[in-house]
Amino acid sequence: MKIIKEKHSLVMRWTHWINFPILGIMIWSGLLIYWANHSYSISIFGFTLFRFFPDSFFTFLHIPYRLAEGMAFHFLFMWFFALNGFFYVLYTLISGEWRQLIPQKNSFTEAWQVILHDLHIRRSLPAQNKYNAAQRIAYTAIILMGFGSLFTGLAIYKPVQFYWICWLCGGYHFARILHFALTIGYVFFFLIHVVQVILAGWRNFSSVISGFEVIETSQKVHGEAGNNSDDPA
Amino acid sequence: MKNQIDEKRDNNAVDKKIKRRSFIAYLTFLTVGLSAFEGWKWLYHAPSETPGVTGRARKPLRAALNKTESFFKQFFSPDHLVKTYPKSWAAKNVRVNSDIGMTDKNFNPENWSLSVLRSDTDVLKISLKELRELPKTEIVFDFKCVEGWDQIQHWGGVKFADFITHFRLEAHTGMAYVGMKTPDGKYFVGLDMESAMHPQTILAYEMNGQPLIPQHGEPLRLIIPVKYGIKNLKRIGTISFSNQRPADYWAMRGYDYYSGL
């Protein structure tokens, strides 16, 4: 028989899907701003490995000469990004859902096993609750990264009025690098996240919209949701 | 037998519940998603503001910039000082980013004097010599361009607040804004009075201990560390005071009017 298993709370689902386009707009408008002085690159011994970004990348995305526009969008959507994130964190703390989210003592060793499993090197998965160890680490990290973006963003935005934030970020120049690096981090997170969601399948994806998963159980076992481990995504 | 019927009824109920909940969830998801997309299209294609003291920004975005400005203005304090550095840290090769307002070939710094508009009909003329006789303030700070670069630079001149006191312009500081213009009127900035009166705002006539060179705004330029470079007007021609926002070159081109740091 079928059983409805509650998985994601309403607040988690709303804030997740609200964050998605807002973060997209923040990254896009951030690029409009960054282009005006696109000076970052990765170099080893004076040899440039990668330039952020090649000119073709900027032209393809229609980025150049839109600094004023970029700032106007960035400084509006920063409010929604901050409020949505603040609301999510507040809810997660009050509801106790943070217990399912933050990494535990053994999460770091287990996460390694999860990675090996996902890469088809290891057969079994460690026992897990709502999120596996790798997810706990990734999803907690992304929240911290969001806070980091706000913090470094404020350091860049008002380096004189919030001089202490700027100081904590290692100065104006370094705050900009951190702010940029965090954005690159989001892009990597997004890529891995999407691949994992696709691998985990429709049922898992659907639960982030509907909030529940349907679980088929054998007829005799009443009301027991089974020990189905949730798919990682 | 009875158990099996019960089970079937349970299964139907669960099926119904699944269907109903999924329907509501997906309908909400699609409706909200589509409205958000429509909202974005509306914002993206929103008409430009009417050109005036500010211009070229989408109407709603300009309104948001102004609102955000008034929020962050609350954190402004004349006690919040920009970080300063030892003189030896200052760049020898000071970056030049613009010559707007300084392209008049007939301009001769020898004949220059600063005009202060005390009223529409009352203009106070001040020579560079008079300014040099006032106490000199030097600052070595990280100059920040709105484009994203920053550079530690060393400037020297008259603190704007000292200038105000010396020329008895205190009454004018009761107004909300200060406007500055190049002699040819092609570059101009508007500053809120609090930022202009900030203790680190100076009318600079020196860079790295030497008189200003033409590309850095000879003979007198504004150095206002609590603002982006775009507000640090070179080659000051006139200074005026008003309660309305004076026109601002970059604010008319879509940038934030306040542009405060």
The domain locations on chain B are: 1-45, 59-253
CATH (one of 3.90.420.10, 3.50.50.60, 3.30.1360.70, 3.30.70.260) for B59-253: 3.90.420.10
pLDDT bracket for residue A144 (50, 70, 90)? very high
Q: How many domains does chain A have?
A: 1
User: Contact, B222 vs B161, CB < 8 A?
Assistant: no
Per DSSP, the three-state class of A79 is helix
The pLDDT value given to residue A220: 52
pLDDT bracket for residue A165 (50, 70, 90)? very high
Q: Within an 8 Å CB–CB cutoff, is residue B226 touching chain A?
A: yes
Q: A99 or A228: whose pLDDT is higher? A: A99
For the complex shown, is ipTM > 0.85?
Answer: yes
User: How far is Cα of residue A160 from the mean position of the Cα atoms in its chain?
Assistant: 30
- Closest partner residue to B72 (CB to CB) among A1, A158, A176 is A158
CATH at residue A70: 1.20.950.20
Residues spanned by the domain of A49: 2-216
Structure tokens given for B176: 């909300």
Read off the pLDDT of residues A170-185 as tens digits, 9 standing for 90 and up. Answer: 999 999 999 999 999 9
User: How close, in Å, is residue A115 to chain B by CA atoms?
Assistant: 32
- Closest partner residue to B147 (CB to CB) among A2, A36, A172 is A36
The pLDDT value given to residue A224: 43
Residue holding tokens 């409020």? A83
Residue A149 lies in a domain: yes
Largest distance between two CA atoms of chain A: 69
Read off the pLDDT of residues A43-70 as tens digits, 9 standing for 90 and up. Answer: 888 888 899 999 999 999 999 999 999 9
Q: How many residues does chain B have?
A: 261
* Mean pLDDT in residue range A146-169: 97
* Mean pLDDT in residue range A23-41: 95
Query: What does each C-alpha distance from B87 to A23, A167, B207, B227 come to in angstroms?
Result: 41, 20, 11, 21
Tell me the residues of chain B between 231 and 260 that have a Cβ less than 8 Å away from chain A.
Answer: 250, 253-256, 260
The pLDDT value given to residue B205: 97
Q: Which residues of chain B have pLDDT under 50?
A: none
The pLDDT value given to residue A225: 44
User: Contact, A179 vs A156, CB < 8 A?
Assistant: yes
Structure tokens given for B214: 């033409």
The pLDDT value given to residue A233: 53
CA distance A1 to A175: 55
The pLDDT value given to residue B252: 97
Residue A222 lies in a domain: no
Residue A115 lies in a domain: yes
The pLDDT value given to residue A229: 47
Residue A224 lies in a domain: no
**Residue A111's CB: how many other CB atoms inside 10 A?**
19
Rounded to the nearest integer, the mean pLDDT of chain A is: 89
The pLDDT value given to residue B174: 96
Residues of chain A with a CB closer than 8 angstroms to some CB in chain B:
1-4, 17, 21, 25, 33-34, 36-37, 39, 67-69, 71-73, 75-76, 79, 157-163, 166-167, 172-173, 176, 206, 209-212, 214, 219
Read off the pLDDT of residues A209-233 as tens digits, 9 standing for 90 and up. Answer: 999 999 888 755 444 444 444 455 5
User: What is the pairing mode between strands B238-242 and B210-211?
Assistant: unpaired
